[in-house]
Structure 1
Amino acid sequence: MLHGVGRRGLMAGVAVAALARPAVSRAQGGPIRIGEINSYTAQPAFLGPYRNGWLLAQEQVNAAGGIDGRPLETVFRDDAGKPEDAVRLAGELVNAEGVALLAGGYLSNVGLALGDFARQNKKLYAASEPLTDALVWSRGNRYTFRLRPSTYMQAAMLVEEAAKLPAMRWATVAPNYEYGQSAVKWFRELLAKKRPDATFVGEQFPALGRIDAGATVQALERLRPEGIFNVTFGTDLLNFVRQGNTRGLFEGRTVASMLSGEPEYLEPLGEECPDGWIVTGYPRDDLNNETHVKLRDAYRQKFGELPRCGSIVGYDNVQAIAAMLRKARSTETEAMVEAFRGIRFPTGYGTGEVTFRAADHQSTLGAFVGRTKLEGKRGRMVDWRYADGADYLPGEAEVRAWRPQD
């Protein structure tokens, strides 16, 4: 459940945000309206903090004068994790609410549906979270941009560490939809390049949100791998770790795990947090540069809790949109698309500026790579480093071959 906000309260907040807005204004001084679509009730652990981070950034942009005096205003909608609902809501936001652009997306299949809507309707879509590489490569289009480091990028970060270890026999476990399939594909391919002697002895693809953790752990144990690549998250991760600990699956084995160092997924593990997993994540408590501390303090003052990875994603996407609008000096779609290509904006991580590559519309935002460690009754991410996203992307010539012509 969302920290401090139940499902009913969250939906009430979304409804209030929709009802309390002023009438659509096309005047020069009227608000610039953003239509934000996300799986708020389906994935509250990540998206509650995400929405808070979004609102904090929007408040800061508006307090600084907005965009040439025009405030940002966001109309939030909940797709409940269903691609068909996301597409219907996108149509309503564009046609009935008069939004200048669309944003959001959490699940990869939802993000792909919104990307297709953007292409067909020639409407800008600033994707926040969907991690599948298809969003900007095989199904990329002129109107879709993506903020977070993708499955390719995060798999490359984990492979870099995993390839240094002696594990040669690998098994994989991932949710059976676009994100999980993409992550496994790239981990296998990239590890094979780093370690041609590595082999993959089996894989498990449980249904998203419905993992039979006991059976999954038994199946992996029978494969006798030396390393496990895990892509489960949320309650699936909690159940997988609990059963894996009980049955000794992780003892003496290397585990590389995507996203598991993010507070949303690490903190709920509590005393069950495994030691020594190689993870991507967000070492919030130990990230003490000036920019991040300022954001962390402002977030805590406004919401009464510490930010999570979702908070930074929401915050950064607003900052990216604001940077684009300042450059475009227009809310005309083609002008915004051209402005998005190559914009630079500072990330709330405090690790410097990032940009959107013109070749594929992928942001160079990176991720932190480290290891899990149980300290007392809680897990932490230790021995971490920031992996700059620009260092984990394939070359522009290569992605042009994968990407349809705009």
Structure 2
Amino acid sequence: MLARRHFLALAAAIACGTVASTAHAQGVIKIGEINSYKAQPAFLEPYKKGMELAVEEINKAGGLNGRQVELVVRDDNANPGDAVRVAEELVSREKVDVLAGSFLSHIGLALTDFAKQKKFFFLAGEPLTDKIVWDNGNRYTFRLRPSTYMQVAMLVPEASKMKKKRWALVYPNYEYGQSAAATFKKLMKEAQPDIEFVTEQASPLGRVDAGSVTQALADAKPDAIFNVLFGADLARFVREGNTRGLFKDREVVSLLTGEPEYMDPLKDEAPNGWLVTGYPWYGIDTPEHKAFQSAYQAKFNDYPRLGSVVGYSTIKSLGEGIKKAGSTDTEKLITAFRGLQVSTPFGPITYRPEDHQSTMGGYVGRTKNEGGKGVMVDYRYLDGAAYLPPAAEAKKLRPAE
């Protein structure tokens, strides 16, 4: 009799459509994550491991508001159209609670627009273009990683002290590279009005013709070079530049080159003395970083890369935001993220209410070829909050909501 009553109650619930919604409310929290895993494995394989570590820690501690966390990961094939397609699949079919991820800036922008159109919460972990939080910013999108503007601003004070007049620029010819070059020229011109930019070499992403680029740079006879190439493009450029003596007696300022993802593959070709942003994991002795590094190495038997920190901090940010909101409701999450404080391996960060940019900072130092391996030396951590426009100014850079 009891079994029959239970069956009838269950049948009635199904008829009313209440079972699925109740199960979803009491079940796992799904984080839909979209990234260019096949195209950018050097950064994104460690990134995924960082996410997995954070999810494991959250679930072992009881989950979020009593619910366990599940990652639902998709590859975007380094294509904005594919990114939007899988985002739609994650939201409509997988019923994820939030979206996160993206690496390449033009894909981050496509997902930023998707979040706006669908009124769905999106945390951009890695893409660096300033448009994500400024020109194309919207109420549904937040960004973790220090932006192009922030990282260039961290390098400019030291670059201007070099007192080099003739500069050459080399960068990948897509949103990130273009914005990095434009920001560098703007900030350097403000710091050093007599500066000249004697050549710009913009190469297709992933297909740099290192020989012709190196020759063009040498022909321009610059006093210094600003480089934005990364990954395999960087390796080709460094190899060709070393062979042709391009870097001899020239200052080089280089975004991202100090990240182990890009430094380690250079091995004994790693350059000496470049001014870079990066991640000297081997020398950071803060309590937050030591705890992260220890847990990461214990789980994966490997050292962390910068991608590991970004992936870990992306999930930790979502965890803190969901806990603060007490919900995965988009509007409640937006309210919770504005001013949200999060503990990361780089220390505490805050998501600014005015432009949804986090204050995560970065390490600036010099490269050194040490025993056939590239490392960062003379580095220091710079707080991202000090390299952002004032909040009121940043708010003016965004479209009205």
Task: Please confirm whether the aligned pair reaches a TM-score higher than 0.5, indicating the same fold.
Answer: yes
**Partner deviation per Cα, 1:256-280 (whole Å, 9 max, x = no partner):** 0000000000111111111000000
2:276 aligned residue (272, 275, 279) = 279
Distance 1:396 1:361 in 2: 10
2:387 corresponds to which of 344, 367, 392: 392
Any idea what SS the aligned residue of 1:163 has? helix
1:358 maps to 2:353: yes
Task: Map 1:113-124; keep pairs closer than 5 Å.
Answer: 113-124=110-121
Tell me which residue corresponds to 1:404. Answer: 399
Q: How far apart in 1 are the matches of 2:353 and 2:67?
A: 27
Partner of 1:15: none
Match for 1:233 among 224, 230, 233?
Answer: 230
Tell me which residue corresponds to 2:165. 168
What is the CA RMSD across the aligned residues, in angstroms?
Answer: 1.1
The counterpart of 1:75, out of the listed 66, 72, 75, is: 72
**Gapped regions of structure 1 (runs ≥ 5):** 1-22
Whether the 8 Å CA contact 1:24–1:97 is kept in 2: the answer is no
Equivalent residue, structure 1, for 2:252: 255
How far does residue 123 in structure 1 lie from its aligned partner after superposition? 0.3
Give the secondary-structure state (helix, strand or coil) at the position aligned to 1:334: helix
Distance, in Å, in 2 between the alignment partners of 1:363 and 1:24 is: 33
Is 1:112 equivalent to 2:105 in the alignment? no
Letter of the structure 1 residue corresponding to residue 369 of structure 2: L
Superposition TM-score, scaled by structure 2 size = 0.94
| One-letter amino acid of the structure 1 residue matched with residue 134 of structure 2 | W
Give the secondary structure class of the aligned counterpart of 1:384. Answer: strand
Alpha-carbon distance between aligned partners in 1 of 2:24 and 2:106, rounded to the nearest angstrom: 36
Once the two structures are TM-superposed, the CA of residue 301 in structure 1 deviates from its matched residue by 1.5
Q: Which moved more, 1:330-339 or 1:237-246?
A: 330-339
Check the 8 A contact 1:25/1:31 in 2, yes or no.
no
Distance in 2 separating the partners of 1:114 and 1:360: 17
Aligned-pair distance for 1:296?
A: 1.0
**Kept in 2: contact 1:323–1:345 (CA 8 A):** yes
Partner residue in 2 for 1:18:
none
Q: TM-score, normalised by structure 1?
A: 0.93
1:84 partnered with 2:81: yes
Residue aligned with 2:349, SS: strand
Question: Partners in 1 of 2:98 and 2:65 — Cα distance?
Answer: 17
Q: Give how far 1:288 is off.
A: 1.7
Of residues 189, 210, 215 in structure 2, which corresponds to 1:213? Answer: 210
Tell me how far apart the structure 2 counterparts of residues 24 and 83 of structure 1 sit (CA, whole Å): 32
Distance 1:338 1:149 in 2: 21
Instruction: State the shift of 1:81 in Å.
Output: 0.5
Contact 1:54-1:311 at 8 Å conserved across structures: yes
- Matching residue of 1:383: 378
Given that residues 24 and 98 in structure 1 are in contact (C-alpha distance below 8 angstroms), is that contact kept between their aligned partners in structure 2? no
CA distance in 1, matches of 2:257, 2:21: 41
Q: 1:246 aligns with which of 219, 243, 263?
A: 243
1:308-334 Cα deviation digits (max 9, x unpaired): 000000000111101101110011111
Tell me the amino acid that sits aligned with residue 43 of structure 2: F
Rounded Cα–Cα distance in structure 1 between residues aligned with 2:163 and 2:242? 22
Choose the corresponding residue for 1:343, options 331, 340, 343. Answer: 340
Counterparts of 1:121 and 1:379, CA distance in 2? 44
2:313 pairs with 1:316: yes
| Larger Rg over CA atoms | 2
Deviation of 1:24 (Å): 8.8
The answer for the alignment partner of 2:50 in structure 1 is: 53
> Cα offset for 1:234?
0.3
State the SS of the aligned residue for 1:70.
coil
Partner of 2:291: 294
User: Given residue 113 of structure 1, which amino acid in structure 2 is its aligned partner?
Assistant: A
Instruction: Tell me the CA shift for residue 401 of structure 1.
Output: 2.1
Q: Show CA shifts across 1:221-246 (max 9, x none).
A: 11111111000000000000000000
- Of 20, 36, 41, the residue aligned with 1:39 is 36
Compute the displacement of 1:40 (Å). 0.4
Q: What SS class does the counterpart of residue 172 from structure 2 fall into?
A: coil
In structure 2, runs of 5+ residues without a counterpart are 1-19
After TM superposition, the structure 1 = structure 2 runs for residues 19-38 of structure 1, keeping only pairs within 5 Å, are 26-38=23-35
